[in-house]
Chain A
Amino acid sequence: MHKRSGDIKDPTPTITSRYSYGMALIRVEDLVKEFRRSERFPGFLGGIRSLFTRQYTVTQAVDGISFEVDQGELVGYLGPNGAGKSTTIKMLTGILVATSGICEVGGITPWRDRERNAKQIGVVFGQRSQLWWDLPLRDSFLLIKRLYDVSDADFRATMKTFTDLLELEEFIDTPVRQLSLGQRMRGDLAAAMLYRPHILYLDEPTIGLDVVAKERIRVFIEELNRAEGTTVILTTHDLDDVERLCRRIMMIDHGKLLWDGDPESLKRRYAPHRELVVRLVDPHEKVAELGLAGVSVGDAAEGATTIAFDPQQVAAADVIAAVLARHRVSDISIVEPELEPIIRQIYADRAVAL
């Protein structure tokens, strides 16, 4: 990425992807989306006044973000509600026109050439459907075959794969309006990928689904990415989706990119301590201070003591050895940090200096 020096317009440093080498599949640079909402005055007379005055409030839904995504990446795009996630996705898909900045997907500016862009992307919005409500699911697939000019042979092969992976067989002849949310979602996923686009955008694909349905969808996404190298950009509030699927996380808030990197370094950065949970044979005994740098022993709760340690300063094996040397231990385990509390904390802090 080339960062222009001496750019006065945007003094805050932009985060650029460390994943960029060669020609990126998706290239976004200083992308901005402003919404102008006309001011509404309260009351009936105010309503009339709104008709004649032109006062706008300008909000920056996306405020100068830059990143690149390469072929085959599986990116989790996270952020609290109203952070600008969906707006970004809408610009990437070509539904929205950016106010300024560069956005190129496969060499195309999506909103300039919607029809060409449509052929290279698949889109699933968890909250809306592209399927024909009144007709059997199969009919929607046949229409998509026509819309995207898929050959008979390709269609048959793809349908066979998807039917197996998503278990569509049992409801493919049911009208879409009679499908459960999970079934409809599987139908929508298949519809979005029937013409084998290189890129799949998923906007909250697992929202409102039960555990089994979520799992099926995750397996499908994983399989597409692994077997076909489909590039996936996923927005979700379900961090299990991210833990399970994504090798890269982009976090956005107030229209700005807060973090761009792999989940492990995110954890290292925001949750540097690992935890060792120890149970002693004698439940009344207390775990002594270990005298090691970077280790702090917490209070015992329900017979278990949590020992936090910094893996940069001390090895897990040394901490365990120190505990075993002092106590008779009935159970010991290392707890890996989870993404969930970390993300929650970042949302709570809102402004993170990087």
Chain B
Amino acid sequence: MTAVAVPRRARLRALVGIGRMSAQSLITYRFNLLFGIVSALVQIYLLRVVWHSVYHGRSTVNGITLDVQVAYSSLAAVQAWLLSPGLLWDIPQRVRDGTIAMDLLRPVRFLPQAFASQVGGVLAMLPFAVVALPFAVLVGGAVGPASTPAFFGYLLGLVTGFLISAILNLIVSMVSFWTLEIQGMLMIYRIVQQFFSGALVPLWFMPGWLHAIATVLPFQASGYTPLAIYVGRVSGGKAAQLLVEQAAWIVVLWLLLRLIWSRALRRIVVQGG
């Protein structure tokens, strides 16, 4: 038989196709999207009230002005919603109902499929995030980027932050290959991820020991890091260093994901799931 290996370009087109399908599936649930935006706006407003009360007339706390702090929490909420783990390509569900077998039968490998799906999901949410942004500024607040390099650093940080959170999502959902009781664990993961990403409280307001923990964990990449660059809290060499660290995290986490996937695959194909 003459079965030909899939050429690279065709494979890329296939992955784009999968991403697009995920995007379309996501948009099917319009009300989910709407409620996501509304809850982000509620969070922005509540945090604004809290920070106003915390500052209590002082112009800066810890070197951070109220305006910067409110702008931070507004952007962080939109960002967290955009990159939310709710975007998980539902691996646990696919394992439970056996769709995973169909995924394995595709002419494209599983991990690229799962990853393409995550990229598609975020790209689908992006226009909605852009539309939500003025509202976020309205109920919260905004400051411009600290500088032009800070703005580009922010965008770069967002991309690396997305990659890290996407890989982490996949790693965590792979646990479903070993146990179907994964909901509780996912909940804990979401809370830990949200807190240490700095989505609620920025790392600069965390006590020393907590700050130290948050700094060594990869979660800050999807929340705190890009925003700290945006508002100019870190800049120049320090900002570059953070971005390099993120790149290193991507490599490490990707290797970890591949290791876990190869174990998971072994489990499916040898033990029959």
Contacts and interface: CB of A to CB of B under 8 A. Distances in A.
B188 interface: no
B115 to A, nearest CB: 15
B107 A115 contact: yes
Interface residues of A, number: 43
B232 interface: no
A132 B25 contact: yes
B131 interface: no
Q: Chain B interface residue count: which class?
A: 20 to 34
Interface in B187-220: none
A90 B3 contact: no
B272 A96 contact: yes
A111 B270 CA distance: 11
A123 B7 CA distance: 22
Nearest to A195: B107
B107 A119 contact: yes
B259 interface: no
Contacts of A140: 21
Interface in B96-141: 97-99, 101-102, 104-109
A296 interface: no
A198 interface: yes
Given A25-B1, A95-B104, A147-B14, A119 B21 contact: no
A37 to B, nearest CB: 8
Nearest to A118: B107
Given A118-B105, A143-B17, A36 B10 contact: no
A35 B21 CA distance: 36
Contacts of B10: 149
Contact of A119 (B4, B98, B269): B4
Contacts of A222: none
Contacts of A130: 99, 102, 105
Nearest to A61: B272
A14 interface: no
Contacts of B272: 35, 61, 87, 90, 96
Interface in A223-258: none
Given A128-B101, A143-B18, A97 B269 contact: yes
Nearest to B16: A146
B25 A135 contact: yes
B268 to A, nearest CB: 7
A17 to B, nearest CB: 19
Contacts of A133: 25
A132 B20 CA distance: 12
B24 A139 contact: yes
Interface in A120-179: 120-121, 123, 125, 127-130, 132-135, 139-140, 142-143, 146-149, 175
Contacts of B270: 96-97
Interface string A91-105: 001111100000000
Contacts of B14: 146-147, 149
Nearest to B7: A149
B98 A128 contact: yes
B139 to A, nearest CB: 31
Contact of A134 (B5, B18, B25, B268): B25
B42 interface: no
B58 interface: no
Nearest to A128: B98
A218 B105 CA distance: 24
A134 B29 CA distance: 9
B240 interface: no
Given A115-B107, A118-B107, A96 B269 contact: yes
Contacts of B5: 115-116
A146 B105 CA distance: 15
B13 interface: yes
A305 B98 CA distance: 52
Interface in B254-273: 268-272
A117 interface: yes
B6 interface: yes
A332 interface: no
Given A96-B269, A117-B3, A128 B105 contact: no
A268 B154 CA distance: 78
B271 A149 contact: no
B107 A111 contact: no
B148 interface: no
A125 B101 contact: yes
B1 A118 contact: no
A107 interface: yes
A114 interface: yes
A213 interface: no
Contacts of A132: 21, 25
A93 B105 CA distance: 7
B28 interface: yes
A72 interface: no
A106 interface: yes
Nearest to B93: A133
Nearest to B26: A134
B52 to A, nearest CB: 42
What 4 pairs between A and B have smallest CB-CB spacing?
Answer: A106-B1, A146-B17, A118-B107, A149-B10
Given A132-B21, A133-B25, A134-B28, 10 more contacts: A35-B271, A95-B101, A97-B269, A115-B6, A123-B102, A128-B97, A143-B18, A146-B14, A147-B107, A147-B108
12 contacts: A96-B272, A106-B1, A106-B3, A107-B1, A108-B1, A119-B4, A119-B6, A125-B101, A127-B98, A130-B99, A130-B105, A143-B17
